[in-house]
Amino acid sequence: MDGVRVLVVEDDRVLRPSLERLLRQAGAQVVTAATGAEALRAVGPGPAAPFDVVVLDIGLPDSDGRDVCQAVRARGVEVPVLFLTAREGKHDLLSGYAAGGDEYLAKPFHAGELLARLGALVRRSTPRRPPAPTGLVLDPAGHAVTGPGGEQALTPTEYRLLAALLAAAGQVVRRHELVRAGWPDGAHVAENTLDQYVARLRRRTAAVGGGAAITTVHGVGYRVDGDAG
């Protein structure tokens, strides 16, 4: 969620600041609104919007969140919308999608699930730069990496870490993003544990060839530099 611009529309005076705090701790830039009218003022006239994703409560004091979403869509704004609601019925879920929503999360919810869903929405809606060529290919069935020089078996954690690096080859992957990719949610991972795994991945990728190298970006994370050949 680093740098992601989020509009939180929630009238609950306890939940709204909690959501804002959670998202800011995850690196997001957050604007909050307590009513549908405030939300529409924040979104602006459209079609461009100053947000990357909207968290929208359905039960607002001045309007139904689904009606707010329809008003946003009518302005030509295509920013992803995640509905928050205490209603879990099939009808409510389908009507939310019909109103232009992209995701639906019932209260109460786990903070990690909210962040994961928002991250997925932002990734799907953001054009991605294709990864640089590395000469490396992951084998999900054999849990291995292959290259011009052969094949190396990977542990499940090594596989997940290398997959995250290769998906963004040529770009820096932050340390906390790698931890999320490699270990279960909430796992305590020591600072040097990630470094040890990356050191092992360097040996594995060097052994299979391909010209790729895992570079340390000090204080930030790691980057796979593409095929040098």
What span, in angstroms and rounded, lies between the C-alpha atoms of 165 and 214? Answer: 9
pTM tops 0.75: no
Lowest-pLDDT choice from 117-131, 149-163, 200-214: 117-131
pLDDT digits (tens, 9 = 90+) for 211-229: 888 999 998 999 998 764 4
Q: What is the DSSP letter of 136?
A: -
Both tokens of 145, joined, read: 């990496």
Both tokens of 142, joined, read: 């054999």
Contacts of 69 (CB under 8 A, 6+ apart): 56, 81, 83, 96, 99, 100, 101
pLDDT digits (tens, 9 = 90+) for 179-188: 888 888 777 8
What domains can you pick out in the chain, each with its CATH number? 5-125 (3.40.50.2300), 137-225 (1.10.10.10)
* Mean pLDDT over each residue of the chain, to the nearest integer: 87
Containing 121, the helix (H) or strand (E) segment is helix 111-125
Looking at the DSSP assignment, which residues form a beta bridge with residue 82?
55, 103
pLDDT digits (tens, 9 = 90+) for 68-112: 888 888 788 889 999 988 766 677 777 777 778 898 888 888 998
